[in-house]
Amino acid sequence: MTLLQIKNLNLSIGDTEILRDVSLTAEAGKIVAVIGESGSGKSMTAYCINQLLPRGAQVSGQVMFNGQDMLQISERELCGIRGQDIGMVFQEPMTALNPVQTIGAQVAETVLIHGAASKAEALKIARETLNRVGLPEAEFPLGRYPHELSGGQRQRVVIALAIALRPKLLIADEPTTALDVTTQAQILELLQKLVREDGMALLLISHDLGVVANVADNIAIMRRGEIVESGPVKQVFAEMNHEYTRALFAASNHVPERNAEAAEMPILKVSGLVRDYVLPRKTAFGVPPKLRAVNDVSFEVKRGESLGLVGESGCGKSTLTRAILGLDVVQSGLIEIDGQAVTAGHKVPRELRRKMQVVFQDPYGSFNPRHKVAKLVAEPFHLLDDAPKGTARRQAVEKTLIEVGMLTQDADKYIHEFSGGQRQRIAIARALIIKPELIILDEAVSALDVSIRAQILDLLAELSDRLGLSYLFISHDLSVVRAITDRVMVMKSGKIVETGETEAVFNTPKHHYTKALIDAAPVLENVR
């Protein structure tokens, strides 16, 4: 049964055309995936269904849901449909959830708003719904707050909010973008289970073909506000009639050319590193317990080598990164940078810190939005004893921007004037400006569209070949790690459980945890 039918949908905001003649259908008990890069119009199509549009929006066409045209009914009628007949799962659960309300109160609120039950009954429904999404009462009582949960657990709460009243249509907007591969697989499996059990239609929005290819029944490829190709998943991937579909597929499997050869001399050597965190006391006079976030970790990064570090959230990757960068003091162990040792209890000296730089996951969050790019890129100069000034400083910034594929005039712009891929290039420029020997990339491409990701990987490979850079590449995206690294380490519960040549680890994993990670990763070729 066709539950949702969109016909010739057009959307403009002011003088800007957003959507053009968009048409798609969603059937009960089926999953339709909408794929496209940032700005393609995926989310705006979803917002048109619920009429969650900004002021100045002009919409035409038809959005038929359960026999009603959503573009013709009143706001009062829409409020009765939102949350009850149409549920929505947003991309960022920490933003979608209220940090000062318990998870039980937030799930129950959906039921209470629609007058579907009394408060006691609403809390009972909330409990049952949280159980359905894999948050059992023994571990996740209704009194827990969002900040007490992991990213995957918070996403389950958001799904519980959306399905509390068993809607006919569920819209999931990038529900797995920032999740680990195992958590991502669990969330996708949960969504499939809900579709089977409740017979609802699922509109799954994503920029990653691999994520949805193995779960969707039908797929629509969007570009610049238009659907350029649609149909059953296997048919679309078998035929790939449109050049944009072929480009997305190629970018999803892109492997950059790398010619750099690693030297035997390591630029970074870590031996027996231990990092403990003190937890709150359980009693007034008791000894505070400790959490061992990094447990006896040893490895080395050779000159010109790209070393991958993979593992789920909470395994200790970021703590290890902070320790290497000198942002955290470790309890025991040894860090050697370019042959110079930093012992436990001591900070990394300034002359060694200048040999390392870092590129963070969110380039927008790691820049001061009030400063122009010229000042942002020049920030690491404070680590130099004789930093360039005046014209020399400006020339150094412009030269580095050109190295990462930007323009000299970009130095006079603000960070909000750039796309996500351009911001990441500027973040790489900031890391390069003082000519470091090691760059730590902390989830540097995980939030980027597949085509932008391919460009950034090509850039990193080219810089490594030309400048002899070494990389410590931290990511939960196994396909990216496989494409860009020479060796890979697998981290679990603060320990390195497996390490080896990248292809050897991926083809013949020895540790059961490595096998679980690889099995959970989506494989695009399986669809064809």
DSSP string, 144-174: --GGGS-HHHHHHHHHHHHHTT--SEEEEES
The pLDDT confidence band at residue 43, using thresholds 50, 70 and 90, is: confident
The pLDDT confidence band at residue 285, using thresholds 50, 70 and 90, is: confident
Q: Please check whether residue 248 is in contact with residue 34, taking contact to mean a CB–CB distance below 8 angstroms.
A: no
Looking at residue 528, its pLDDT comes to 53
Structure tokens at 409: 């005039």
- In one-letter notation, the amino acid at residue 49 is I
CB burial string 221-254: b at 16+ within 10 A, e below: bbbebebbbbeebeebbeebebebbeebbebbeb
Measured between alpha carbons, how far is 201 from 356 in angstroms, rounded to an integer? 49
Query: Pick the residue with more confidence: 77 or 208?
Result: 77
List the domain boundaries for the chain: 1-83+169-179+207-252, 86-166
Looking at residue 525, its pLDDT comes to 60
Looking at residue 4, its pLDDT comes to 92
Write out pLDDT tens, residues 196-250: 988 999 999 988 787 788 889 999 999 999 999 999 998 998 889 999 998 888 8
Between the alpha carbon of residue 334 and those of residues 125, 244, 465, the distances in Å are 53, 50, 29
Which are the contacts of 387, defined by CB distance < 8 A and separation ≥ 6? 381, 393
Which of the listed CATH numbers 1.10.3720.10, 2.40.50.140, 3.40.50.2300, 3.40.50.300 matches domain 1-83+169-179+207-252?
3.40.50.300
Measured between alpha carbons, how far is 371 from 411 in angstroms, rounded to an integer? 10
CB burial string 381-391: b at 16+ within 10 A, e below: bebeeeeeeee
Looking at residue 443, its pLDDT comes to 81
Measured between alpha carbons, how far is 417 from 425 in angstroms, rounded to an integer? 13
Alpha-carbon Rg of the chain, whole angstroms? 25
Write out pLDDT tens, residues 398-442: 999 998 888 999 999 999 888 777 888 899 999 999 989 999 998
